[in-house]
Amino acid sequence: MPVLFGSRASPADAANLSLATDIGWDRAASGIHPVESLRAGSLLFEVVLAGVREAIADEPNAALLAAVATRSLHHSLMDRIRMAATSYSSFLLNRTAEAHVGERRRIAREMHDRLGSGVSAAARSIELIQLQLHTDPVLAEQRLSQTGASLREVLENIRQLAQDLHLHTKTEGLEKALLRCVEGLQPPGMETVVRVNGDEAWVEPAVLDELFLVLREALRNAFTHGQPTRVVVRVEIAPHELRASVEDDGVGFVPDESNSAGLGLVSMRERIALLGGMVHIFSIPGRGTSVETRVPLIGAGDAE
């Protein structure tokens, strides 16, 4: 008589579910999407079920046994896949939270470096002006002019920081937001081309925001580390898929794990993975870098 799975979880089942959780975590760390687990589970289901049917073919109640085996096998596999998928999502959420903390620290450094010193210098200058107003009015007037210039520079830095933090995709569209981003980040003497094709109404606003953040990070990497003469941003929006790329003709790099964290590549991959998409990075030293993104679209494109 064949042995079938019961409905009550055994210690072995609990251990297997724990293993499934660990597998989901490891696959997320390796960038393996849960759809691959689903494909593997479907193949395993077909192979095991074929073996079960062959084993019980001569049993008098083979049809009933086959039905019970099918249901038990399906539930067992789906439980493991569900646990692995949940663990996958938890891993990505944790890493994304870490990325957000890192982003806040970066903003704090930017504020300290770009605003703090300027404001402190202006405050000291104003104190000196107060002392010199009666003793040396000419020098006080000169210092006042210099202080005004310093404060205007601080205001410009504040404007740039606010622009860097604000997501413009909801109010002005992705293309204009990217152009504004390029305007604020691009070094002098560099050419950047932005091309967006397709209807942004097909894309959920949250997806556009995440894509903007990823493309902004890719642009920042190109401008800061790539030393290119030309950067091209392409976005192709279809009803059921979103594709985007940032390509530069710069110095390139070896895209291994040692420099991925420093360049923000891990954060970029994890943001897109939470949307069900993937990021591919191609780079050869001396021949530039290409960051390519694909995201499936669900819901927004079907609204009409």
pLDDT tens-digit map of 31-86: 677 777 778 878 888 888 888 888 888 888 888 888 888 888 888 888 777 777 77
What's residue 107's pLDDT?
72
The predicted model gives 256-273 an average pLDDT of 69
Q: What is the mean pLDDT of residues 189-200?
A: 94
Q: Rounded mean pLDDT of 10-20?
A: 62
pLDDT class of 280 with cuts at 50, 70, 90? very high
Strand ranges in the chain using DSSP code E only, listed in sequence order: 191-197, 230-238, 241-248, 278-283, 289-296
Angle (CA) 294 41 271, round 5°: 25
pTM of structure: 0.54
pLDDT in tens, 108-123: 766 776 677 778 888 8
User: Which pLDDT belongs to residue 7?
Assistant: 44
Give the pair of three-digit tokens for residue 81.
Answer: 């896949």
Q: Which of 6-10, 17-21, 189-193, 269-273 comes out lowest in average pLDDT?
A: 6-10
Residue 20 pLDDT greater than 70, yes or no? no
Alpha helices in 133-187 (DSSP H): 137-165, 169-185
Residue-range domain boundaries for the chain: 11-98, 99-164, 172-302
169-178, 261-270, 290-299, range with the lowest pLDDT: 261-270
- Check residues 7 and 201 and name the one with the higher pLDDT: 201
Tell me what pLDDT residue 83 has: 78
Which residue has better confidence, 193 or 87?
A: 193
As a whole number of angstroms, the distance between CA 228 and CA 240 comes to 33
pLDDT of residue 171: 60
Q: What's the confidence (pLDDT) of residue 198?
A: 93
Instruction: Determine the average pLDDT of the residues in 83-90.
Output: 77
Amino acid 303: pLDDT = 43
Average pLDDT, the chain: 80
Nearest residue to 246 (alpha-carbon basis) of 202, 186, 205: 186
- Of 147-161, 183-197, 209-223, 278-292, give the lowest mean pLDDT range: 147-161
Q: What is the mean pLDDT of residues 155-166?
A: 71
Do strands 241-248 and 191-197 pair parallel, antiparallel, or not at all (unpaired)? unpaired
CA distance 271 to 100: 11
Fold of 172-302: Heat Shock Protein 90 (3.30.565)
Cα 57 from Cα 283, distance rounded (Å): 56
